[in-house]
Amino acid sequence: MITTGYGFETTALDVVEGVDLSGRRAVVTGGASGIGVETVRALATAGAEVTIAARDIDAGQRVASSLTTATGNKKISVARLDLASQESVKAFVRIWDGPLHLLVNNAGVMATPLTRTPEGWELQFATNHFGHFTLTLGLFNSLRAEGARVVNVSSSAHLMGDVVFEDIHYEHREYDRWQAYGQSKTANILFGVEAGRRWASEGVTMNALMPGSIATNLQRHLTAEQLQEVIRRNDAETKRRVKTPEQGAATTLVVATTPLLEGLSGKYFEDCNEALPHTGGVLSGVAPYAQDPESAAQLWKVSEEALGF
């Protein structure tokens, strides 16, 4: 088990103190809001060249301007990316030029009403997994840089359920917004398990993490009452407090920068350390099905078939 000396209270800036990312190029999806902003702030503070990939270009420009002033790093840029649109993802890939050392798959949607993309895919799976799958594979040649890392922001919600390969998009079963969110977050972890097998000799690693319970606009599809219920439930089950965005981004920065993860893929972190196996009664740890090699291989195959790779 990988332990770092960091924990719940650690912030993203704590993690990058003394870390030099000069000459490294990073992309952060969803970098214009929530923990994405704090992820960009920390990477820029450490000297990285950072691209904020966001649906809202104006919001992204505001964040980039603010963080340029705050960090003194003038290499913060913005590019449009809508993960729910395969055309948007492919357009982002086409304009990317040069090496990429760090891809933080941070953006996502949570607990949306049943919504389908033009392809007929359930929105949460289409955004949280398919969008990042296309982005990552599309940028793979650029990621073939020494020590390149892909970081997938997952969630303890993966404990709500495995990927139901027989009916991923809720065509034959009753839709449950939390179950749908959970399977998309399970997919984020499984993605790294199979990537580790396929890319072991390519110098590219992929790991996943749980940022913690944080109040951000990820919860925009929930009513105030639903959000408070989620917070109460999480706190009761995990005995944890709600994190600030600065604390929520810390585990992302650990997975992105710790030398302890060199050459390793398929791991899942929470509170800045590798998570223990899940045990019943608590909303923490990693479920065995989320690290199952056979499921990971099946997910990759299903994704390639759906997305035309």
Q: Where are the alpha helices (DSSP H) in 113-157?
A: 123-125, 132-138, 140-143
Q: What is the DSSP letter of 135?
A: H
Q: Which residues pair with 150 in a beta bridge?
A: 103, 206
Reference 272, options 256, 287, 296; nearest CA is 256
Class of residue 74 by CB neighbours under 10 A (exposed 0-12, middle 13-18, buried 19+): exposed
Tokens representing 85? 């649109």
Q: How many CB atoms are closer than 10 A to CB 111?
A: 20
Which residues carry out catalysis?
A: 181
User: In sequence order, what DSSP letters do the residues of 9-72 get, joined into one string?
Assistant: T--HHHHHTT---TT-EEEEETTTSHHHHHHHHHHHHTT-EEEEEES-HHHHHHHHHHHHHHH-
